[in-house]
Amino acid sequence: MAVEGGMKCVKFLIFFFNFIFWLCGLALIVVGVLVQVGLHKTFTIKDAAASGVPILIIIVGVVIFFISFFGCCGAWKENYCMITTFAIFLSLIIIVEIAAAIAGYVFRNKLSGVVQDSLTDMIMHYENGTAEFKDTVDKLQEELKCCGVNSSSDWKIFSSEGNSVPDSCCKNITAGCGVGTMTDAAKVYLKGCHDAVEALLKKNLLWVIVAALVIAFLQIMGIVFACCLMRGIRSGYEVM
């Protein structure tokens, strides 16, 4: 009876952990989508590596979402093969999540160059860009209270006289407030957007790394319980 009771407990723990996994999968999808949107809505990124980590996180989240359901069915039916398959899939997911966390950490060191190139490209295409593109650039500068890449002087190509900036650089935005005010600290922000954007992206990537590691730890616990249930089923004990 003690063994049977223990297996019953393990069975319900697997249900509990699979519910946690389901939530974790949903959380990974949300985090991945938020980072992906943050990367591409904030400004145009030309480096494909920037999308790799959030896309990987989204894929892992979707897989976990469905595997958790598979694990529940296996525990409910007390099916050895399904529980074994569930444990194997979960192990593979953990490896992928750890790889994603490492990739995210490594990418943190490359952010500065990616941000520099992307913001420079953004300024180069601002004048001939679409209304939506200009609006994105303007919102970036307004929200982060910055101007240009490294300084407001990066907007020299904005006008023929070379001393004007977009109105979104102004501290108090009004129509035409950026004309002739490139270096006027009283009217426009002189600090560039590079550092602010880099800090924002690093913060988002940090959340991805933390989420991946925490979920991987929970999944290890799930594998342990799955192995216990597999052992109980294989030993011929009835699990209620």
Residues 6+ apart with CB under 8 A from 64: 21, 22, 24, 25, 28, 93, 215
pLDDT in tens, 181-226: 998 999 999 999 998 888 887 777 777 677 777 777 877 887 887 7
Identify whether 240 is part of a domain: no
100/224: higher pLDDT: 224
220's tokens:
């290890």
Alpha helix (H) ranges present in the chain? 2-42, 49-77, 80-108, 111-124, 131-144, 194-234
Co-location of 98 and 209 in the same domain = yes
> What is the tally of structural domains in the chain?
2
56/200: higher pLDDT: 200
Co-location of 127 and 183 in the same domain = yes
Least confident of 58-72, 134-148, 168-182, 186-200: 58-72
Co-location of 46 and 85 in the same domain = yes
What does the alpha-carbon distance between residue 111 and residue 60 come to, in Å, rounded to a whole number? 23
What does the alpha-carbon distance between residue 10 and residue 142 come to, in Å, rounded to a whole number? 54
Question: Quick one: pLDDT at residue 165?
Answer: 92
Identify whether 215 is part of a domain: yes
Co-location of 135 and 164 in the same domain = yes
Identify whether 13 is part of a domain: yes
pLDDT in tens, 3-30: 455 667 777 777 777 777 778 778 778 8
Write the CATH number for 190: 1.10.1450.10
For residue 155, name the pLDDT band (cuts at 50, 70, 90): very high
Identify whether 40 is part of a domain: yes
Least confident of 90-94, 123-127, 134-138, 232-236: 232-236
Identify whether 144 is part of a domain: yes
Co-location of 104 and 60 in the same domain = yes
- Domain residues for 134? 113-194
Co-location of 133 and 44 in the same domain = no
pLDDT beyond 80 at 163:
yes
Co-location of 208 and 103 in the same domain = yes
Identify whether 20 is part of a domain: yes
Co-location of 99 and 122 in the same domain = no
Co-location of 51 and 151 in the same domain = no
Co-location of 93 and 26 in the same domain = yes
Least confident of 10-14, 64-68, 126-130: 10-14
94/184: higher pLDDT: 184
Task: Please give the share of the chain, as a percent, with pLDDT higher than 70.
Answer: 85
3-state secondary structure of 151: strand
Whether residue 118 contacts residue 43, with contact meaning beta carbons closer than 8 Å, is answered with: yes
Cα-based distances in Å from 39 to 46, 143, 200, 205, 209 = 11, 15, 10, 10, 16
Co-location of 19 and 130 in the same domain = no
pLDDT beyond 90 at 147:
yes
Task: Please give the share of the chain, as a percent, with pLDDT higher than 90.
Answer: 13
